[in-house]
């Protein structure tokens, strides 16, 4: 009953939005307002129809994109956590590297993506690089904030209780930073989806982003939206998965 209560409001909101869209699109209201042909403004029911008819094709491409997202996210996670740990070791390292890390986020992905494709080819390489580039940032920044919020008295106490530097890191700093790292990871996984699509747009032979480009060129707007639905579902599922993991790991919260 409690679970139902938790999930009911968001589901109701999504259903309501779809219902509104359905009415607006199926009645021809949206196409009229936009002054477009009706097939360019598909209703949710048409989109779900296409999603079902072309489920094989969409699933195959979704699998490719999902692999890119998950792999890219893990690369970002490893780099992000290591960077945070390194940056927390000394003020000098942190102050030296921080501007470069922030600057890395000002690189326009749209511009750099084609270059990465030239460098690394049409395979998964450039996608991983792009996802990692945009995902490590929230992980590093949040985790670093966590590591820096460690209680100083607790560290003093531990030092007088025989703790080595490594034991302080393990028993105080990591647990303190963990909730922050999870927040960063949740932001990262949501933007990873966008990174994967950008990566595929720059050059690819498979994936939902690739399929969307083709569908856009062929004015298959309904299937394009079907891909968007699947991408959203992937993002929501991964976000929820990390949330679940967070609750299991951070039992003390």
Partner 1 sequence: MSPSLSGREIGHAFGDTVALDGLEFSVDAGQVLAVVGPSGCGKSTLLELICGLGDPDTGTIEVAGKTGAVNRLEGCAYMPQTDCLLPWYSAIDNAGLALRNKGRSKAEARRAAAELFTRLGLNGFEQSRPDELSGGMRQRVAFLRTLLSGKGVLLLDEPFAALDAITRAEVQEWLKGVLREERRTIVLVTHDVEEALYLGDRVAVMSPRPGRFLETIESPSAAEASRLETVTTVEFTARRQQVMTLLGAGGLAPLGGS
> Binding residues for partner 1, per CB under 8 A?
151, 153-154, 156-164, 167, 171-172, 175, 252-253
- Separation between Cα atoms, residue 253 and residue 249, nearest integer Å: 9
**Which letter does DSSP use for residue 54 in this model?**
T
CB atoms near residue 141 (< 10 Å): 22
Nearer to partner 1, 6 or 152 (CB): 152
Q: How far is the CB of 153 from partner 1 (least distance, A)?
A: 4
- Separation between Cα atoms, residue 114 and residue 108, nearest integer Å: 11
Residue in this structure with the two tokens 């032979």, named with its chain if needed:
205
Nearer to partner 1, 55 or 156 (CB): 156
Nearer to partner 1, 106 or 160 (CB): 160
Nearer to partner 1, 14 or 155 (CB): 155
The total number of residues shown for the chain amounts to 253
Query: Are 160 and 101 spatial neighbours (Cβ–Cβ below 8 Å)?
Result: no
Query: Which H or E element spans position 4?
Result: helix 2-26
Q: How far is the CB of 157 from partner 1 (least distance, A)?
A: 5
Q: How far is the CB of 160 from partner 1 (least distance, A)?
A: 4
Query: Residue 33 half-sphere exposure, CB side, CA atoms within 13 Å?
Result: 8
Query: Are 202 and 114 spatial neighbours (Cβ–Cβ below 8 Å)?
Result: yes
Q: How far is the CB of 152 from partner 1 (least distance, A)?
A: 9
Nearer to partner 1, 23 or 155 (CB): 155
E strand spans, the chain: none
Q: How far is the CB of 144 from partner 1 (least distance, A)?
A: 20
């Amino acid at each position: 009953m409690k679970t139902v209560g938790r999930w009911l409001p968001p589901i109701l909101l999504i259903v309501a939005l779809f219902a509104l869209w359905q009415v607006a699109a199926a009645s021809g209201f949206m196409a009229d307002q936009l002054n477009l042909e009706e097939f360019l403004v598909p209703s949710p029911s048409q989109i779900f129809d296409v999603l079902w008819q072309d489920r094989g094709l969409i699933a195959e491409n979704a699998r490719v994109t999902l692999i890119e997202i998950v792999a890219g996210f893990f690369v970002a996670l490893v780099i992000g956590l290591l960077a945070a740990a390194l940056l927390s070791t000394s003020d000098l390292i942190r102050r030296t590297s921080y501007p470069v890390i922030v600057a890395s986020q000002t690189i326009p992905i749209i511009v750099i993506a084609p270059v990465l494709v030239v460098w690394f080819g049409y395979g998964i390489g450039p996608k991983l690089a792009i996802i990692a580039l945009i995902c490590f940032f929230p992980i590093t920044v949040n985790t670093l904030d966590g590591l820096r919020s460690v209680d100083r008295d607790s560290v003093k106490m531990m030092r007088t209780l025989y703790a080595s530097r490594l034991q302080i890191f393990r028993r105080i700093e990591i647990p303190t930073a963990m909730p922050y790292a999870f927040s960063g990871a949740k932001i990262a996984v949501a933007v990873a989806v966008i990174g994967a699509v950008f990566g595929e747009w720059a050059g690819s032979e498979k994936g939902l982003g690739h399929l969307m480009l083709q569908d856009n060129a062929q004015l298959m707007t309904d299937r394009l939206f079907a891909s968007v639905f699947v991408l959203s579902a992937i993002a929501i599922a991964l976000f929820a998965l990390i949330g679940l993991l967070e609750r299991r790991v951070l039992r003390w919260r």
